[in-house]
Structure 1
């Protein structure tokens, strides 16, 4: 029997934390230029460092699902450090730890107080990354890395591979081509805009050519796997939480207690794909 693997991208195939942090700061400077007038290089470096740390941890919780949220995080960090810029009611006295614990509650508050629009921020995030790629492709690529062994595993995979991600497809295509030497056909890449991952899995399992295949879904977000478990229609999927991506030991322990979810090590993952 053949196997089909639906793979998340960030945190499973690619460690994109550095690129995400730097892109978020670049985009924030475009969206709110006046806020950065009084920001010196030391403070900007601090923001980038906190973004890098916070984004990892936020994914580990996990809370951030799409890249536009990182722009909000940049501005929030800036308001925490510079009270004169403060427009958010939640920024005063806020700590990084509290952001990590309460991001899902904080996000709608700051979106409303700053009069921000999700789709506009998504568009801006993509535009800034496109411009970075166009003007300094080498540095952009260098801010991303594939996890060890993944490139060879993808090249040698005998299973049917699909990418199911909240990242924008054009960036995923470029990273796979440049870092892994792999070309994923467009019909096997479901990126931002394809809808919830549970819906993508339903589409995949209904395709006539997939009937009789063993179905596997590999994620680094426990919350996403929990959403799959809630859907009886998806009971046929084997579910995996990776132990090298953006998740915590607490989440891995919780996953280990759930019969539907298997913890997956990187070496085993690479072996499975081959």
Structure 2
């Protein structure tokens, strides 16, 4: 890298560092069944949940989508085509509120961690090469942080179990991702943001206050089928090979 302050790399958590798809369905299913016990939901995540996962932004949406997948008359294609528009309609259909769904999800996770932490942790895995690459960042003079819509306590527990210590960890309690990034820019050092959700990066790019943030979309994680196509020059495509390379070789 060129001379100057070393960058702070800010990583999204789910879909970038950790694959927790089994846990997402398990927790979402448990929360949905507690709220609507008559639901019939399979123990293994249905294919529709994997299709919806790239569109899901916050934890409460997972609970809502689990319930929707239990509807016999669900039109999955219509849901996928207008996900954002479908969210308020689905909340109204079930008579639920986003904040109560978030609390229910976090209660399920807290109980699982308190009663069987090994089983809860086992439902997650680091993506290949992640731990080794993060461990090498210190030798390149770079710091890294985590910015996630997951509750900070749950992300912290997973990172500790993997032997990883970010310089900072921001959960949904600290505000939206653009809000946190604007705060970090005040440190007056290069800021690189690594995500697997293209709409999140597009929101960052649309904020002129975040013009200095360098954005990367990873080629793994919970991507939609066309998320990697036609990227603007302000969002770089990050493959596992480039991720493993020295920072000076990142796009």
| TM-score of the aligned structures, taking structure 1 as reference length | 0.82
Is 2:197 the partner of 1:221?
A: yes
Residue of 143, 155, 172 corresponding to 2:123 = 143
Aligned positions of 1:1-274 closer than 5 A: 1=4, 2-33=6-37, 35-36=38-39, 39=40, 44-45=42-43, 48-50=44-46, 53-60=47-54, 63-80=55-72, 92=73, 94-158=74-138, 159-178=142-161, 180-185=162-167, 188-207=168-187, 211=188, 213-255=189-231, 258-272=232-246
The structural deviation recorded for 1:198 is 1.1
3-state SS of 2:70 partner: helix
5+ long unaligned stretches in structure 1: 81-91
CA deviations 1:198-229 (Å, max 9, x no partner) are 1111100113xxx2x22211111110111111
Runs of 4+ that moved beyond 4 A: none
**C-alpha distance 272-10 of structure 1, shift in aligned 2 (>3 A):** farther
Give the superposition deviation at 1:273: 6.2
CA RMSD, 1 decimal: 1.8
CA contact (8 A) 1:8 1:220 kept: yes
How many residue pairs get matched? Answer: 241
The alignment partner of 1:100 has SS state of helix
Aligned-pair CA distance for 1:233: 1.6
Distance 1:253 1:12 in 2: 18
> How far apart in 2 are the matches of 1:55 and 1:272?
35
Considering fraction of residues, name the structure with more helix.
1
Residues 145-165 of structure 1 deviation map (CA, whole Å, 9 limit, x = unaligned): 100010122223221111111
For the residue of structure 2 that corresponds to 1:70, the secondary structure is helix
Do 1:153 and 1:273's aligned partners in 2 also have CA atoms closer than 8 Å?
A: no
- Segment drifting more, 160-169 vs 94-103: 94-103
Preserved contact between residue 12 and residue 219 of structure 1 (Cα < 8 Å): yes
Distance 2:20 2:125 in 1: 7
